[in-house]
Each structure stands twice: as structure tokens, then as C-alpha cells.
């Protein structure tokens, strides 16, 4: 019983000193932090959602798109977040709406929505991309070019 009482006193002292207090990402002491973006929606206004799985897997990738290059039309069934390290890209959504991202921008990607990223600049676009997926399931699925973008028959 004495051990339980001592543990309770130590826990109370730690809590009173601030140890164990909840903090936010930009509340760190002695560390410089800059909020880049906080949002509840993706770039196109789609509400953000988390994957429900018992087998989570996070993949971090460095993606480089050369000038004139593109990702190809694809979609994600998992939440994807990116940060532009350099260059710029234009992301076109199915339906023709376009979004521009440049160095220093955070990207909260859309789910289950066909899109294509293209580097229209004169230097490589570099992004670090985080896929918050599931073990054994793809983070990216290639899709056909939307009919509205298909080349007219000759």
C-alpha cells in the first residue's frame, strides 16, 4: 500500500510540473516550429478522412518529376500527404479543375478521385510524400485518362 501511495504522489508531482500535459505540434519549448498548413479538407475541398484498418503501414517517398514530366492519371484509396521540396506542379482533377503547388507548399491529396500531376516548370519538382496505407494494399492505382481528356478520334 505504501508503494501505491508513493507512486500516486510522484504522478501528481509530475503532472503538476507539466510532464504529461497535452501539447500541440507548435507548442514545443526551445524548438522552432512553423505551421505550414492545417486543414480539414483536401486541395479540392474533399473532406479528409482516415483509413480504418488493423494493419496500418506508412510509406515515405521522395518523388521527383522532371520538367515536362507527369505522374499519369491515378487515384489513392488511402490518405496521402506531401510537401514540395522544390520546383512546382499543377495537379489536374477529373473534370478539368487544376491546382498549383510550389516549393514550400503542403499538399493534402484527394482520395478516390482521378488526378494527374504535371511539372510545367523548368526544373525538377521534388516532393516528399507520405502514404498512410495498409499492409499488402496499393497506395496508388493507375486509372484511364478521363473521357473528357481523351484525344478525339482521327
Q: The domain that contains 61 carries what CATH number?
A: 2.60.120.10
At residue 151, the pLDDT reads 47
> Is 65 part of any domain?
yes
> Is 74 part of any domain?
yes
> Is 31 part of any domain?
no
> Is 19 part of any domain?
no
> Is 129 part of any domain?
yes
pLDDT band at residue 31 under the 50/70/90 scheme: confident
Averaged pLDDT of the chain = 85
- Do residues 80 and 129 touch, judged by C-beta distance below 8 A? yes
Inform me whether the pLDDT recorded for 87 exceeds 80: yes
> Is 130 part of any domain?
yes
pLDDT band at residue 19 under the 50/70/90 scheme: low
Give the count of domains, the chain: 1
In sequence order, what are the residues at sequence separation of 6 or more whose Cβ sits closer than 8 angstroms to the Cβ of residue 147? none
> Is 29 part of any domain?
no
At residue 43, the pLDDT reads 87
Among candidate residues 97, 99, 93, the one with its CA nearest the CA of residue 115: 93
Q: In what order do the strands lie in the sheet with 106-108?
A: 56-65, 125-134, 80-86, 106-108
Domain that holds residue 56: 41-145
Amino acid at each position: 500500500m505504501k508503494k501505491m501511495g508513493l507512486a500516486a504522489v510522484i504522478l501528481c508531482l509530475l503532472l503538476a510540473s507539466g510532464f504529461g500535459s497535452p501539447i500541440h505540434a507548435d507548442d514545443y519549448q526551445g524548438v522552432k516550429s512553423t505551421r505550414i498548413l492545417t486543414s480539414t479538407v483536401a486541395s479540392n475541398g474533399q473532406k479528409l478522412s482516415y483509413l480504418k484498418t488493423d494493419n496500418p503501414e506508412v510509406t515515405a517517398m521522395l518523388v521527383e518529376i522532371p520538367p515536362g514530366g507527369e505522374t499519369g492519371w491515378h487515384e489513392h484509396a488511402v490518405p496521402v500527404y506531401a510537401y514540395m521540396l522544390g520546383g512546382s506542379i499543377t495537379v489536374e482533377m477529373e473534370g478539368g479543375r487544376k491546382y498549383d503547388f510550389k516549393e514550400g507548399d503542403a499538399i493534402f491529396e484527394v482520395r478516390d478521385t482521378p488526378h494527374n500531376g504535371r511539372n510545367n516548370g523548368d526544373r525538377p519538382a521534388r516532393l516528399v510524400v507520405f502514404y498512410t496505407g495498409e499492409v499488402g494494399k496499393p497506395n496508388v492505382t493507375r486509372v484511364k485518362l478521363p473521357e473528357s481528356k481523351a484525344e478525339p478520334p482521327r
